[in-house]
Amino acid sequence: EVALHAHDEL
Amino acid sequence: MNIFRFLGDMSHILSFLLLLHKIVGGKSAAGISLRTAEMYAIVFCTRYIDLLWNFASLYNYLLKLLFIGASLTIVYFMRYGPSQKATYNADEDAFPVQYLIAPCAVLGVLINQDHSSPFEMVWAFSIYLEAVAILPQLFLLQKQGEVENLTSHYVFALGAYRALYLLNWMFRFMTEPDYQQRIVWLSGLVQTALYCDFFYHYYQSKKGGLNKSVKLP
């Protein structure tokens, strides 16, 4: 679930 | 990281450099919306609050600091710089931002990626607000009809950054299994759509030479 929504972008 | 996202971030940095060059270097805030600048400061200060605990990538960390610093610097100079205040047109920069901020706040609370996390609500608010933050600036340009050269490049670079992010999301959707970010996809689509009219006039005016001013009907 976290992988789906990881905030890895600016 | 893919080329679209990298180019998008570079375009975003370029938009800041152009705006800082005009406001701090050129000591002029003519044609620039303080309301848009303030909303962008809110966007970055809310979205990047995870600077306090998320050190996932140095690249993101540094750019987040840069974006927060640059947006606050711009607001500071537009509010307190003597020559900037003299060239800033407060009565033309009149877009009612409360009608943008309040709905985004409600949406942030209602539609986000984890209803148990306050940060996710703030993060979603920031995404929604960024989608509409350019409206006061476009409204001001529309009112003035003519767009000064540097300002037109600043707005173009700012619009291009999210358009490149749309390509980045398409690329990631195609290459990463079960990647989905509906909130940013939809917001980014709205954000980029708002620039279409400006992009058209920018292209029309620049195809005759890069330093022609952009005329908006």
Closest Cα in chain B, distance from residue A10 (Å):
6
Give dist(CA B78, CA B72) in Å, integer: 10
Nearest CA in chain A to B124: A7
A5 touches chain B (CB under 8 A): yes
Residues of A in contact with B166 (CB under 8 A): none
Q: Mutate one of B4, B44, B46, B60 to test the A interface: name it (highest A CB count within 10 A).
A: B60
* Chain segment B186-209, per-residue pLDDT in tens: 999 999 999 999 999 999 999 888
A7 touches chain B (CB under 8 A): yes
pLDDT of residue A5: 60
Closest Cα in chain A, distance from residue B15 (Å):
15
pLDDT band at B40 (very low <50, low <70, confident <90, very high): very high
The token pair at B142 is 């529309």
Residues of A in contact with B62 (CB under 8 A): none
pLDDT of residue B209: 87
A4:B184 CB<8 A: no
* Chain segment B117-167, per-residue pLDDT in tens: 999 999 999 999 999 999 999 999 999 999 999 999 999 999 999 999 999
Give dist(CA B17, CA B12) in Å, integer: 9
In the predicted model, what is the mean pLDDT of residues B171-198? 95
A2 touches chain B (CB under 8 A): no
Residue B11 contacts residue B163 (beta carbons within 8 Å): no
pLDDT of residue B193: 98
Determine whether B16 is exposed, middle or buried from the number of CB atoms within 10 Å of its CB (0-12, 13-18, 19+). Answer: buried
Identify the DSSP state of B213: P
* Chain segment B10-32, per-residue pLDDT in tens: 999 999 999 999 999 999 999 99
Give dist(CA B92, CA B136) in Å, integer: 10
